[in-house]
């Protein structure tokens, strides 16, 4: 099936993919509401790209207690039913490649824009390419594991600041 | 209105008070954002005659309406203050993604007043804003400050705007840095930030930038990407970045060499992208929302100059390369990294070091004066030793820390070595045989002192559509550029060029992707992006008018600081017309003064360079006159 191949080595860190994704899905530009995320490495450019890989054995689906996540047997895509999702974030713990929208208490999942993803169209560095791929291939699994590990390490050290202020 | 967040922060450092208020519509509509908005704020709020490094100076940072959107190359942020070098306007913009994050946090502009009693940094996380103790960050390099704040705030996505040790020590060659390596703020803004005891601004935002017409905006943005990626110039640019200029300038006898004494450097081939890429380039790097990605990460693996960093450009290669006579690429990369870490401006620092080297060449400085440093042309090791001395104001470095203009007052007879306009080092200008002399006019009249980004230099195509309109035909417009040494029409060319530059800096779009001759975006295309993003209907001509308004506001700031016609000039060396084997260089002063008259006339300024009443009325600026009397201070 046609999926996004991620070649993070080519990524220049421009994050146009995030801008285009949030623009088509939300009608506004926001990296926090983009289904695809780029985490820049300022020192050597070893950027990290995080986007749902639509795995053949999606651990996010397994982790959801509310049946909000499902793998569509016809399209092969993993999707979220926002009516059922409560934004608990269990799926993000199981696999951190999707985005939790805390404000609206729901998880954001790449829907491949119905087969013609905008992020791929605005990627000029060759980091995102639409290709015929087997979602269950070992390469795909290893990409998921590596990215997850990297993300978990990052998120282990970091979450947005939360200290209150009285200045305003 | 969409695009803008509509909010700004006023930070009173002396009292430790922070006020959040709406960004006035008047500012948005007449000045767009970024450079325009903060230049106007500076004109309104800065008291005349204040000490640039005293508590009454105002330091500002701003983003524009297109930052944080899919509009291409809208990554820039602008910082402004009264200049510690020229005493007039000083501003500068840098890339990275600080501005993007600032928009997501919900702010267009931050104004800092006063001086904090102790070192602080401003922490912004969406609605939460506070001043925090920064004593633990004092003395830290730009990179250490970034790393430390990301760790302390437990968020690797925190974006930091900071100064290095140079800014803390009030070195007038200091800039402000985002993402450790993206610098802005020529004219000593790093020192102004340091004088306020403000080490950094750390911002994290999870909000969004609202778009008035998402479909039209995405279509306009995609058309713009297509134009940029199809452009042969930008394809070359994507590969080489600004480093392509070394070859071009060497071939045209326009490479600033040995403090601008010559236009050709023997070792230039060692400074090219071709010499850099195979050995040291790691990969390309883009600023926020940029499909071009002209910058490079680099790494020198071993040897005496082992280092790594980012953003090796023309503006970091020639100032210490040809200008100081150094032809060792690894050494230049090391020097670039050191400047970034210490928070020094490569243009001004290179200009100051090459000034000292010319003093050495002429015997005006000896080992006794320089703490035994041998300042012969090409001595890279001496430069590497000298840079920290400048940043920490140690020994001989302390003499250079205020820039070449102030240093020359303490070195007898050294004014012949000065290459400054309004006290600021001439960055990249050598009037070679093929260099359009309008560049000289651009340097002389740029609002922030000798400058290559304010119009007239490599960009003299900004106003093409309007230039054609004014002159009646495309041929006439192109002639102005094809006949580099003729004075005809150069006033028009520069005016439009400056207007376009002000427009671009106010939309915070990168200067490398605009201008017709570089197959970049023109004012109409910018208008399309702007209108679909903000919902404010403006044409390319309307936007150019905003550019003109901004240029006039900046002129008023400088007039108030006492800079009239006499300040709009060039170092004497440019007025020496010389025949070289490659053709004539320089230009006569008469030619220059003729062009200046032409420029003032087209601008609607009088002979002293003062905007006429009619011009101010046309631009809606009459209200600014009340505060001070408009006369040419130099008369």
Do B446 and B335 lie in one domain? The reply is no
C-alpha distances in Å from residue B546, one per residue of B48, B395, B549: 25, 47, 5
Statement: residue B628 has pLDDT above 50: no
Structure confidence by residue, pLDDT tens digits, B408-449: 999 999 999 999 999 999 988 888 888 888 899 999 999 999
ipTM score above 0.85: yes
Is A165 an interface residue toward B (CB < 8 Å)?
A: yes
Chain A segment 61-90 residues within 8 A of B by beta carbon are: none
pLDDT bucket at B623, cuts 50 / 70 / 90: confident
Number of folded domains in chain B?
3
Given CB atoms, is A160 within the 8 Å cutoff of chain B? yes
CATH topology of domain A2-150: Alpha-Beta Plaits (3.30.70)
Distance from CA of A152 to the nearest CA of B (A): 12
Query: Which residues of chain A fall short of a pLDDT of 70?
Result: 155-168
C-alpha B350/C-alpha B348 separation (Å) is 5
Binary contact (A20, B70; C-beta < 8 A): yes
Let me know whether B111 and B145 are in one domain.
yes
Query: How far away is chain A from the Cα of B523, in angstroms, using its nearest Cα?
Result: 22
CB contact under 8 A, B291 and A27: no
CB contact under 8 A, A32 and B283: no
- If you search the block for the tokens 């006339």, which residue do you land on? B601
Q: Are residues B188 and B236 both part of a single domain? A: no
Closest by Cβ to A15, choosing from B151, B289, B297: B289
Q: Let me know if A157 is exposed, middle or buried by CB neighbors in 10 A (0-12, 13-18, 19+).
A: exposed
Q: Residue B635: pLDDT band by 50, 70, 90 thresholds?
A: very low
Which residues of chain B have a CB within 8 Å of the CB of A117? none
Q: Which domain holds residue B13?
A: 7-204
Cβ <8 Å between B284 and A29: no
* Domain co-membership, B129 together with B247: no
- Does A27 contact B290 at a Cβ distance shorter than 8 Å? no
Residue B19 has pLDDT above 50, yes or no: yes
Please check the confidence at residue B273 and state whether its pLDDT lies above 60. Answer: yes
Q: Please indicate if any CB of chain B lies within 8 Å of the CB of A24.
A: yes
Judged by a CB distance cut-off of 8 A, whether residue A16 touches chain B is yes
How many angstroms separate the CA atoms of B9 and B105, rounded?
12
Cβ–Cβ < 8 Å for B447, B421 = no
Query: Looking up tokens 């290179």, which residue turns up?
Result: B350
**Is residue B310 domain-shared with residue B245, that is, in the same domain?**
yes
Nearest-Cα distance to chain A for B428, in Å, is 28
- pLDDT at residue B473 in the model: 85
**Do the bridges between strand A128-132 and strand B583-585 make them parallel or antiparallel, or are there none, so unpaired?**
unpaired
Suggest the residue from B107, B208, B299, B529 to mutate for an interface test with chain A (most A CBs closer than 10 A): B208
In Å, how far is B257's CA from the nearest CA of chain A?
31
Identify the three-state secondary structure at position B359: helix
The reply to whether B420 falls in a domain is no
pLDDT 10s digits, B474-530: 888 888 777 888 888 889 889 988 999 999 999 999 989 988 777 889 899 999 999
In terms of DSSP bridges, do strands B120-125 and B128-133 run parallel, antiparallel, or are they unpaired?
Answer: antiparallel
pLDDT-wise least confident of A150-154, B158-162, B267-271, B394-398:
A150-154
Chain B nearest C-alpha distance from A28 (Å)? 5
Query: For chain A, what's the residue count?
Result: 168
Q: What is the mean pLDDT of residues B183-197?
A: 96
Residues B29 and B142 in one domain: yes
Using a CB-CB cut-off of 8 Å, the residues of chain B touching A120 are none
- Residue corresponding to tokens 């009459």: B622
Q: At what angle do helices B589-603 and B438-445 cross, to 10 degrees?
A: 70
Contacts of residue B202, Cβ cutoff 8 Å, sequence gap at least 6: B121, B122, B123, B124, B149, B153, B158, B159, B160
- H-run or E-run covering B247: helix B244-251
Please give the pLDDT value at position A79.
95
User: In terms of domains, do B410 and B550 share one?
Assistant: no
Give yes or no for B70 touching A (CB within 8 A): yes
- Of the partner residues A40, A44, A122, the one whose CB lies closest to the CB of residue B282: A44
The burial class, CB within 10 Å (0-12 / 13-18 / 19+), for B9 is buried
Q: Do A165 and B293 touch (CB under 8 A)?
A: no
Give φ, ψ of A65 to 5 degrees. Answer: -80, -15
HSE-up of residue A3 (Cα within 13 Å, Cβ side): 20
d(CA B51, CA B97): 31
B7-12 and B109-113: which strand pairing?
parallel
pLDDT in tens, B318-359: 999 999 999 999 999 999 999 999 999 999 999 999 999 999
Contact B424, B433 (CB under 8 A): no
Q: From chain A, pick out residues whose CB is under 8 angstroms from the CB of B129.
A: 165, 167-168
pLDDT of B625: 63
Mean residue pLDDT of chain B comes to: 93
The answer for B 90-109 residues in CB contact with A (under 8 A) is 97, 100, 104
Residues 264-303 of B with CB under 8 A from A: 282-293, 297, 299
Query: pLDDT by residue (tens digit) across B544-565?
Result: 999 999 999 999 999 999 999 9
The shortest CB-CB distance from A160 to any of B129, B204, B282 is to B204
What secondary structure does DSSP assign to A127-168, as a single string? SEEEEE--TTSHHHHHHHHHHHHHHHHHHHH-----------
- Quickly state the pLDDT bin for B264 (edges 50, 70, 90): very high
Which residue among B209, B293, B310 sits closest to A29, beta carbon to beta carbon?
A: B209
- CATH number of the domain enclosing B28: 3.60.9.10
Per DSSP, B426 falls in state: P
CB contact under 8 A, B130 and A165: yes
**CB of A13 within 8 Å of any CB in chain B?**
yes
Tell me: do B442 and B376 sit in the same domain.
no
More confident residue, B103 or B622: B103
Final residue of a domain: which of B164, B186, B204?
B204
Determine, yes or no, domain membership for B2. Answer: no
Interval B373-421: pLDDT, tens: 999 999 999 999 999 999 999 999 999 999 999 999 999 999 999 999 9
CATH number at residue B551: 1.10.599.10
**Residue B557 covered by a domain:** yes
């Amino acid at each position: 099936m046609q999926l996004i191949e991620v070649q993070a080595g080519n990524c220049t860190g421009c994050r146009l993919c995030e801008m285009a994704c949030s623009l088509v899905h939300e009608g506004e530009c926001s990296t926090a509401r983009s289904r695809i995320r780029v985490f820049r490495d300022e020192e050597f450019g070893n950027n990290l790209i995080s986007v749902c890989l639509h795995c053949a054995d999606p651990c996010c689906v397994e982790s959801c207690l509310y049946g909000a996540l499902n793998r569509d047997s016809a399209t092969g895509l993993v999707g979220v039913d926002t009516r059922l999702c409560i934004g608990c974030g269990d799926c993000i713990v199981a696999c951190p490649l999707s985005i939790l929208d805390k404000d609206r208490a729901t998880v954001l999942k790449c829907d491949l824009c119905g087969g013609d993803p905008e992020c791929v169209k605005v990627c000029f560095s060759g980091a995102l390419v639409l290709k015929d791929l087997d979602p269950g291939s070992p390469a795909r699994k290893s990409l998921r594991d590596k990215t997850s590990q990297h993300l978990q390490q990052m998120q282990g050290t970091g979450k947005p600041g939360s200290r209150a202020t009285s200045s305003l | 209105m969409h695009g803008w967040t509509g909010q700004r922060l006023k930070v009173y450092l002396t009292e430790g008070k922070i006020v959040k208020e709406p960004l006035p519509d008047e500012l948005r509509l007449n000045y767009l954002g970024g450079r325009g908005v903060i230049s106007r704020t500076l004109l309104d709020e800065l008291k005349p005659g204040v000490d640039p490094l005293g508590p009454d100076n105002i330091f500002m940072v701003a983003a524009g309406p297109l930052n944080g959107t899919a509009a291409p190359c809208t990554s820039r942020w602008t910082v402004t203050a009264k200049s510690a070098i020229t005493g007039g306007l000083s501003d500068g913009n840098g890339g990275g993604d600080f501005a993007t994050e600032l928009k997501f946090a919900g702010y267009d502009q931050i104004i800092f007043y006063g001086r904090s009693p102790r070192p602080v940094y401003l922490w912004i996380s969406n609605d939460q804003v506070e001043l925090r103790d920064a004593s633990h960050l004092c003395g830290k390099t730009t990179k250490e400050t970034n790393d430390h704040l990301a760790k302390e705030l437990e968020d690797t996505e925190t974006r930091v705007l900071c100064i290095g040790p140079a800014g803390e020590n009030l070195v007038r060659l200091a800039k402000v840095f985002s993402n450790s390596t993206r610098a802005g703020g020529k004219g000593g803004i790093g020192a102004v930030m340091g004088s306020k005891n403000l080490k950094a601004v750390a911002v994290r935002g999870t909000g969004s930038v609202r778009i008035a017409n998402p479909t039209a905006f995405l279509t306009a943005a995609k058309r713009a990407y297509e134009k940029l990626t199809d452009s042969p110039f930008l394809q070359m640019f994507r590969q080489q970045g600004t480093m392509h200029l070394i070859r071009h300038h060497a071939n045209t006898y326009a490479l600033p060499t040995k403090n601008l004494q010559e236009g050709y450097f023997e070792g230039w081939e060692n400074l090219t992208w071709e010499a850099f890429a195979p050995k040291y380039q790691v990969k390309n790097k883009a600023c926020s929302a940029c499909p071009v990605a002209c910058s490079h990460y680099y790494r020198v693996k071993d040897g005496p100059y082992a280092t790594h960093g980012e953003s090796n450009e023309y503006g970091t290669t020639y100032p210490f390369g040809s200008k100081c006579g150094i032809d060792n690429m690894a050494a230049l990369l090391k020097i670039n990294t050191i400047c970034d870490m210490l928070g020094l401006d490569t243009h001004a620092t290179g200009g100051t070091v090459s000034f000292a080297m010319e003093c050495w060449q002429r015997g005006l400085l000896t080992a006794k004066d320089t703490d035994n440093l041998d300042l012969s042309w090409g001595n890279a090791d001496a430069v590497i030793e000298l840079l920290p001395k400048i940043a920490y104001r140690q020994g001989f470095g302390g003499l250079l820390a205020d820039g070449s203009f102030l240093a020359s007052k303490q070195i007898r007879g050294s004014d012949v070595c000065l290459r400054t306009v309004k006290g600021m080092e001439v960055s990249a200008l050598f009037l070679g045989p093929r260099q359009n002399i309008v560049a000289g006019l651009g340097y002389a009249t740029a609002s922030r002192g000798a400058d290559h980004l304010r119009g007239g230099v490599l960009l003299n195509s900004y106003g093409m559509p309007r230039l054609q309109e004014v002159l009646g035909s495309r041929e006439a417009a192109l002639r102005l550029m094809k006949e580099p040494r003729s004075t005809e029409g150069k006033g028009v060319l520069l005016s439009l060029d400056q207007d376009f530059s002000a427009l671009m800096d106010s939309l915070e779009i990168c200067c490398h992707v605009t201008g017709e001759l570089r197959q970049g975006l023109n004012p109409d295309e910018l208008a399309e992006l702007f209108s679909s993003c903000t919902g404010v209907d403006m044409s390319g001509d309307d936007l150019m008018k905003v550019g003109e308004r901004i240029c006039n506001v900046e002129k008023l700031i400088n007039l108030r600081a006492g800079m009239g016609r006499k300040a709009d000039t060039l170092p004497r060396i440019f007025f020496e017309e010389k025949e070289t084997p490659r053709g004539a260089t320089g230009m006569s002063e008469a030619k220059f003064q003729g062009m200046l008259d032409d420029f003032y006339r087209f601008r609607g300024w009088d002979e002293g360079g003062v905007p006429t009443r009619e011009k101010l009325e046309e631009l809606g600026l009459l209200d600014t006159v009340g505060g001070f009397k408009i006369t040419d201070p130099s008369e």
